[in-house]
Amino acid sequence: MLSKNRKDKLVTCQKKLGYPFKNITLLNQALTHKSFVNENNCNYKDNERLEFLGDSVLDLIIGEYSLKNFKNRMEGDLSKIRAALVNEINLSKIARSLNLGENIQLGKGESLSGGHNKNSILANTFEAIVAAIYLDGGLKRTTKVILPLFKSDLHHLADTSRYRDYKSELQEHSQGKKIAIPVYKVEKEIGPDHDKIFEVTVSISSKIVGKGKGKNKKEGEQEAAREALENLNAKQ
């Protein structure tokens, strides 16, 4: 049973999303981290299964849009475009714009460690939200709600001849600064073979400067390079 305070938060959240849920418990589940369920021993369901579905729905929405709107791009370029849009950093940015962090139910330990603002938790929660809308309203409605959230990024990609190649940019940065070349390493492979996630680090002079995740090694490396560039530029 949802408390009045929780219901009020969910109503505010769905207004920010621009989608009124028929079954608001789906939204609550999407905003419930497994640490909250484990610590409170409650009847709530956590958002991991929704996250799994949302990842696929998001790939379909962005993939279909890219196919229809980037007609001169080859399959490899379309995959890179999708990877430039559907990644932890970009999804967490969208989640912040929707104020999802303040509405996520976390366990005390996760909350104290800054979980409400962690990129991984925010990105995963956003994917769970996508699945919740899909289950509640179907694909057409989900596309109508979700696609505008990527509008600025999609317009940027449409106006440029190539997506940003963060690995090449990091390589050029290193050469320009006359420092060691970046070295990439797959630290971990998570999940079954058909849905594996690669966790990758990139190091310069044996120091890790960026971390990334992707559905394959290349996506993970691009994400790691992207974070490395952000970290290095922030120090300048």
Which of 49-53, 88-92, 164-168, 228-232: highest mean pLDDT? 49-53
Question: Of 12-21, 107-116, 167-176, 226-235, which has the strongest mean pLDDT?
Answer: 12-21
The CATH architecture that domain 166-234 belongs to is 2-Layer Sandwich (3.30)
Please report, for the chain, the start and end positions of each structural domain, with discontinuous segments joined by +. 4-159, 166-234
Q: Which amino acid is at 134?
A: Y
CB 180 within 8 A of CB 204: yes
Strand partners, 189: 198
Tell me which of 51, 88, 127, 219 is the catalytic residue: 127
Percent of the chain with pLDDT over 90: 57
Mean pLDDT in residue range 130-140: 98
pLDDT tens readout for residues 98-110: 999 999 999 998 9
Annotated active-site residue 221? The verdict is: no
pLDDT-above-70 percentage for the chain: 96
Stretch 88-104: mean pLDDT, rounded?
A: 93
Distances (CA, A) of 162 to 60, 70, 72, 84, 166: 21, 11, 12, 11, 12
In this prediction, residue 160 has a pLDDT band, given cuts at 50, 70 and 90, of low
Fold agreement between 4-159 and 166-234? no
pTM: 0.71
d(CA 229, CA 225) in angstroms, rounded, equals 6
**pLDDT mean over 13-30:** 96
Q: Which CATH number fits domain 4-159: 2.40.50.140, 1.20.1260.10, 1.10.1520.10, 1.10.3720.10?
A: 1.10.1520.10
Per the model's pLDDT, the better-predicted residue between 217 and 19 turns out to be 19
- For every residue of 202-225, DSSP letters joined together read EEETTEEEEEEEESSHHHHHHHHH
List C-alpha distances in Å: 164 to 14, 81, 82, 169, 226. 33, 9, 12, 8, 9
Tell me whether residue 127 is one of the annotated catalytic residues.
Answer: yes
pLDDT tens for each residue of 47-61:
999 999 999 999 999
Residue type, 27: L
Active-site residue (options: 46, 51, 55, 219):
55
Residue 234, pLDDT above cutoff 80: no
pLDDT for the residue numbered 70: 81
Q: Is 147's pLDDT higher than 60? A: yes
Say if residue 161's pLDDT is above 50: no
